[in-house]
Structure 1
Amino acid sequence: MTAKIQLISPVDGRVYVERQQIDTARLLQALEAAATAQAQWKRRPLSERAAFCSAAVDAMLAMKDEIVPELAWQMGRPVRYGAGELRGFEERARHMIAIAPEALAAVEPAPVAGFRRYIKREPLGTVLVIAPWNYPYLTAVNTIIPALMAGNSVILKHASQTLLVGERFAEAFRRANLPEGLFQNLLLSHASTAVAIVTGDVQQVNFTGSVDAGLQVQQAAITDFIGMGLELGGKDPAYVRADANLEHAVENLVDGSFFNSGQSCCAVERIYVDQKIYPAFVERFADLTRQYVLGNPLDEATTLGPMVSPAAADFVRGQIADALAEGAKALIDPKAFPADAPGSAYLAPQVLVDVTHEMSVMRDESFGPVVGIMPVTGDEEAIALMNDSEFGLSASIWTEDLAAAERLGNEIATGTVFMNRCDYLDPALAWTGVKNSGRGVTLSRLGYEHLTRAKSFHLRHEV
C-alpha cells in the first residue's frame, strides 16, 4: 500500500491537501511512456514544439486567480506578491522559447573543401526535474520549458509542500494538448525518486534544494553516467561601498533580505558596509525593516508571511539566539510584530549587528528573515569576507563606479555578480553556482547546452 503525502499549510498548521504517492510499477510505466513519447517528439519541428510550450504558458497564466491564493496556503507567500512569481514564470518561459532556434542551431566551423562539417545539438532523452517549494513555478520552469523545447520528455517531482504546483503544470500542458507522456507530474517519495534515477531511463536530473539533499541525489546516480544539474544552498553577500547611492542600496537590500521571508537561494544573508557610511546605512536599514507587516498571507495588507514551517522558523530563531549569546545586537524588537509567536511559522524580521564570521548566522544558510551587517575598511576586506563562505551563488556590489564593480566582481567566488541590484534571475544570463552552491547551468543559451548532447557530422562528399 502506497503512502499518502500531506501538505501542512504554514498559515494555520492544518492539512491543506492530501495525495497518494505512486508505487514503483506506476513509476516504471511513466518512464516507459516518457521514452516512447520522446522518440516522436524529438522529430517534430522546433516551431511545433514552441507552439505547444507557448500554449502551456498561456494556460498557466489563465489560472492565475486560483494559483495566487494556493501559493499562500501552500508555502506562505503573501497574496499581494503571488502574481509576481507568475510574471517571472512567463518572462523565463517566453525567453527560453524565443532563443531556442539560435541556441539549438548547428555549430558550423570554417568550411573545408570537399567536406560538410557541423555539430548538432541532440536531446538527451528524459529529464527528471526535482523542484523546491520556495519559488515553485520559477525554479521548475527553468528546466521544464527548455527541456521540452530541446526535444526531451520531462518527469516532474515537485516538493510535497507545493505538490499542487505540479498539478498546475500538468493541467497547463493538458490544456495545450501536449502529446501524452511528454510531461508527467509524479508524486514520488525520496526512495522512489532514487529508483527513478537508477533505472537507466532518466538521462538528466536537475535538482534544486539543500546541499545535503543534493549530495543524496548525486549519490543515487553514482553508478550511472547521468547528467546532473544541482542548484543548492546560498549565503549571498552584499558589499555597500562608500560611493553607493544609500537610499537605493537600503531599499533594495531590505527587500533582497526579507522578500519571501528570506526563503530564497539568492536572498541577501550578510551585508558588508564601508565604515564611512555604516552608521547611516544601519539606521535606515532597520527603520525600513520595521515597516513590514507580519501576518496571514491571505490578507492583502500582509507584506511578510509565515515561513514554510514552524521547524524552519525555529532554526532561524536558534541562529538569532546563538548570535545574541555570542555578542551580537538585535535592532528589531519582535514584540513590534504581534504575529511572531515562539514555536509557530510566523517570525519577525531581524537585523543583527556586532556580528562575526564565528557565528552561524554569518556562516550557515539561514533561509529566513534575518541578516547580519558588518562594517569594513574598504574593498580588500569586503572581498575577503564575501569569499569566506562554502557557498557561491550570487553576490552584489553597491557603487556608482562601474569599473570598480567589474574589477571587484572578478575577485568574488560566485555564479552571478550584481551591481546595484540583487535577488533576481535574468533569463538571458546563465544561472549557476560555485562551491557548495552547486554545478551546472539553467537559463540563457548555455542552459540549452546542459539539456542536449553534441553530435558531430564529418561528411566527405568529394572523393
Structure 2
Amino acid sequence: MSHDRDTFFIGGGWAAPASTDVLEVVSPHSEQVVARVPEGTPADIDAAVAAARKAFDEGPWPRMSPEERIAVVEAFSGLYAGKLAEMADLITIEMGSPTSFANLAQSPAPWMQIESFLTIAREFPWEATRPGALGGPVVVRHEPVGVVAAIPPWNVPQFTIMSKVIPAILAGCTVVVKPAPETPLDAYLMAELLMEAGVPEGVVNIVAGGRETGEHLVSHPGVDKVAFTGSTAAGRKIAAICGEQLKRVSLELGGKSAAIVLDDADLAATIEGLKFTALMNSGQACVAQTRILASRANYDNVLDALVEGVAKMQVGDPMDPATEIGPMVAQRQQERVEKYIALGQEEGARVALGGNGMPEGLDHGWYVRPTIFADVDNRMRIAQEEIFGPVLSVIPFDDVDDAVRIANDSEYGLAGTVWTTDDKAGLDVARRVRTGTYGVNTYTMDFAAPFGGFKNSGVGREFGPEGLGQFTELKSIYTSLPAT
C-alpha cells in the first residue's frame, strides 16, 4: 500500500504545493523509503496562513456558539475513534514506535484528549458575569486568540497535535499545523477526518516541512499564537521570535526526569513501572524518567533488578506486537544516542547493561542497545542532558533530602516519580520536587489536569481547563446593567 501524497491540506481541501520539493519518509526499521510527500516552502506556509486568517477574520467558525463548535468536534471524535488502529500503524511505519506502544498511546491517547477537551468545553466559562469591585457587574469573556501555529515533534505526533488543535478550534481559533518532516503521514489521515466531520474550510490547515518552514510560520505576521512541542534549544529560538513580536506562545520542551526509589518500595512492582516510565516509546519521550535514584544502602538491589528487568525487554521490529523497544527515529538520532553512551564511559560511569553496537540479532535499522549506567554522578552530562533514547543512569542518594536535592538539580522540571509503600511519604516527596507533573508509584498524563514544565521544560500548560484557556484572550466588559 502506497502512502505517497502530492498535496497539502489548505483552505478545506487538497492544495498543490508551490515547489517540487519532496520529503522522503524512511522506515527506521528497514531504512527504506515508505512514502514521499511534498515539502512545505515559505510560499506554502503563506497560503496556509492566509486561509486560516480568512477563516478567522471572515468565516463562521469564531462566530459560532461554543455548542456549535462542540458538535463538529464531537463528529470528528466519532470518526477518529474508528481509525485508531490505522493511525497507530501509520505512526509505527513512519517513526518506528513499537506497535504495542502505538496502540496504547500513539492513537488512543489523542482520541482520549479529544473526548476530555469536549467535556471541558461543555463546562468552560466562555462568558460569565461577576460583581465588580466598584458596584457594577462585569462581564468576563474568553475569546479566541486568533490564528494558531501548531508545531508538533516526531516522537508522539498525533498526541502533540491534538493537545494544540482541539483546544484551539474549540475556543474558536483557526490553525496551521506544521508536522515534523519525519512524521507527516498521520496528519493526512487526520485531515481526511476533519473534512468528513464538517470542519469549515480554513479552520485547520496542514503543511509539513523542516526547520526553515517552521521558522517562517513562527515569524509570520498573520499568526497570533505559537504552540510548540520539541527541544529546549528550538523552544528558546521560538520564544525569542515571539517575544520580539509580542506574540502569544506556549512551549512544551525537554526533560531529564528522576524516579526516586525509596527503600520501602515494592521492588518488583517498581521495576515494572520503571520499564514503562523510563523507556516508553523506546526512550523517545520528553517525560521519560531516565535518572533512577536509589539509596546507597539499597543501590545494588535496585541496579540488579533494573538490569534484570530491562535485559528481558524485546528489541526489534516495531511492527511485532512482542517488541518493547524499537529503533530510533533516524540515523542521526541513533548516532546521537551512541555518542552519549560513549560519553558516559568517558565520564567514568560503568555500563551495567548494553553499550554501543547493534542489539543482538539485528543487522539493519537505527537501533541502539538499551543501556544502563551505574555509578553515575548527577553532575555528569549523561545525567544532565536529554539523550532521548533507551539510556538510563542509576544515581545513589544518602537520604530522602538528598534524593530530592538530586532530583531538583536539573535545568529541567517536567516529570518524575517516587516509589514507596508509604503514600504519605510519597506525597511529601512529590510536593518538594520542582516539576510540572509527578507520580507516586505510577506516572500518567490525566487530560483533565494541566501538563507542562518548570524551568527549561517549557512555558504554559496543556490539557485541562488550563490548556483550553491557553487559546483564549480574556476580555472584561464593564456595564451599568444589572447582572442577569
Indicate whether the TM-score tops 0.5: yes
Shift of 1:113: 9.5
> What residue number does 1:345 align with?
366
CA distance in 2, matches of 1:148, 1:333: 45
CA-to-aligned-CA distance 1:34-85 (integer Å, 9 cap, x gap): 1222242122122221121122122223223432322222111122332212
CA distance in 2, matches of 1:323, 1:190: 30
Shift of 1:166: 1.6
CA distance in 1, matches of 2:266, 2:117: 34
Identity of aligned residues (%): 29
Counterpart selection for 1:64 from 84, 87, 92? 84
Unaligned runs of 5+ in 1: none
Shift of 1:375: 2.1
CA distance in 1, matches of 2:180, 2:279: 22
CA-to-aligned-CA distance 1:158-180 (integer Å, 9 cap, x gap): 11111012212211101111111
Q: Is the 8 A contact 1:261 1:305 kept in 2?
A: yes
CA, structure 1 residues 444+110, in 2 after alignment: closer, same or farther (shift >3 Å)? same
Structure 1 residue 386 corresponds to structure 2 residue 407: yes
Counterpart selection for 1:442 from 462, 466, 471? 462
> What residue number does 1:41 align with?
61
Aligned counterparts, 1:256-267, within 5 A? 256-267=277-288
Aligned counterparts, 1:109-124, within 5 A? 109-110=130-131, 115-124=136-145
Q: Is the 8 A contact 1:208 1:230 kept in 2?
A: yes
Shift of 1:389: 0.9
TM-score w.r.t. length of structure 1: 0.94
Aligned counterparts, 1:175-324, within 5 A? 175-324=196-345
SS in 1 for 2:111: helix
Shift of 1:229: 0.6
CA distance in 1, matches of 2:129, 2:418: 39
- In the comparison of the two structures, how many residue pairs are matched? 460
> What residue number does 1:106 align with?
127
Shift of 1:295: 1.0
Q: Is the 8 A contact 2:256 2:385 kept in 1?
A: yes
CA-to-aligned-CA distance 1:154-212 (integer Å, 9 cap, x gap): 11101111101221221110111111110111123432332333332111101111111
> What residue number does 1:90 align with?
111
CA distance in 1, matches of 2:288, 2:344: 19
CA, structure 1 residues 174+408, in 2 after alignment: closer, same or farther (shift >3 Å)? same
Q: Provide the aligned C-alpha RMSD in A.
A: 2.1
> What residue number does 2:6 align with?
none
> What residue number does 2:12 align with?
none
Q: Is the 8 A contact 2:354 2:372 kept in 1?
A: no
Query: Which stretch shows the higher mean deviation, 331-340 or 59-68?
Result: 331-340
Structure 1 residue 27 corresponds to structure 2 residue 48: no
CA distance in 1, matches of 2:473, 2:317: 47
Unaligned runs of 5+ in 2: 1-18
Counterpart selection for 1:376 from 397, 409, 420? 397
CA distance in 1, matches of 2:84, 2:387: 30
TM-score w.r.t. length of structure 2: 0.90
> What residue number does 1:397 align with?
418
Structure 1 residue 158 corresponds to structure 2 residue 179: yes
> What residue number does 2:161 align with?
140
Counterpart selection for 1:125 from 106, 125, 146? 146
Counterpart selection for 1:327 from 334, 348, 372? 348
> What residue number does 1:426 align with?
446
Structure 1 residue 51 corresponds to structure 2 residue 61: no
CA distance in 1, matches of 2:448, 2:421: 24
State the one-letter code of the partner of 1:54.
E
Q: Is the 8 A contact 2:345 2:351 kept in 1?
A: yes
Shift of 1:234: 0.6
CA-to-aligned-CA distance 1:315-342 (integer Å, 9 cap, x gap): 222222222233322222468941456x
CA, structure 1 residues 225+112, in 2 after alignment: closer, same or farther (shift >3 Å)? closer
Q: Is the 8 A contact 1:104 1:448 kept in 2?
A: no
CA distance in 2, matches of 1:218, 1:114: 40
Q: Is the 8 A contact 1:340 1:347 kept in 2?
A: no
